[in-house]
Amino acid sequence: MDEGPIRSLLDILPAYLNFVIGFLRSPRAAFAPYALTGRVHGDMTSFLLAGVGAAYLAGALMPIPGIDIQNPQGSMDAFAGWLADQDVKALPLEALLAVIAAALLAHLVAKLFDRWSAAGAKLAPDPDRPPTPNLAGSAEDSVNAALGFASILLPLTMIVFLGMLALATPALEARLGRTGLILAIAGPLILYMLGAALYLVAAFAAVHKVSWGRAAAALSTAYVCIALVATNIP
């Protein structure tokens, strides 16, 4: 057995854990060494490797009682049926590609709006005071934010995801009812997604050295535009 990848993960683990704890405590402090560097940082790719490994480990170690993926039943029918058609080994990588693609698209749209604002400011009464961009820095900085965020999001999402599946047992459904089970799962899941969105904004704010509000304005505008375009594609 090739121990190279395992040894590499073990070497990365202390720095990765420090980054995870630091990020959860203060995203701005955790990303301080990587802010506005203008290049994709090697630490971020290493942390991502550790995050993908942690996501695979969580998927391998966390059992899902009461769910038969091959013969789904109960409240999780549709989701379990979808999961049965997926390549579980590819899910973390698919999530990674989705996060990076979304980050780059958001960066592009935010930059376009910043340039639009700057062009409009030249026609204003005081053109010598250009507006402060909502998203300073380069696309490489946005990739750093996406990689660092994804390195934490992937294993946490896998744990939350498997935990929600573990709750969806026929016994709990019989006790709470279908509506009660949906609420018991949806409530924590919504809170988790809200927390993840807040931390995503914080990651971009830290890497681009802008306020949380400016990063939130840039990302919300970008994702609204992306959603409008995506929903209108025939």
Segment holding 126, helix H or strand E: none
Cα-Cα end-to-end distance for the chain: 49
Does 77 or 98 have the greater pLDDT score? 98
Residue 69 pLDDT = 47
**CA 143 distance to own-chain centroid:** 12
- What is the percentage of the chain residues whose pLDDT exceeds 70? 70
At residue 98 the predicted structure's pLDDT band, cuts being 50, 70 and 90, is confident
| Position 178 pLDDT exceeds 80 | no
Residue 9 pLDDT class (50, 70, 90 cuts): low
> Considering just the CA atoms, what is the radius of gyration of the chain in Å?
21
Considering the entire predicted model, what is its pTM? 0.75
Rounded CA gap, 62 and 81, in Å? 19
- Report how far apart, in Å, the C-alpha atoms of 59 and of each of 114, 147, 159, 161 are: 41, 20, 8, 10
Cβ(181)–Cβ(77) below 8 Å: no
| Amino acid of residue 41 | H
Residue 1, pLDDT above cutoff 50:
no
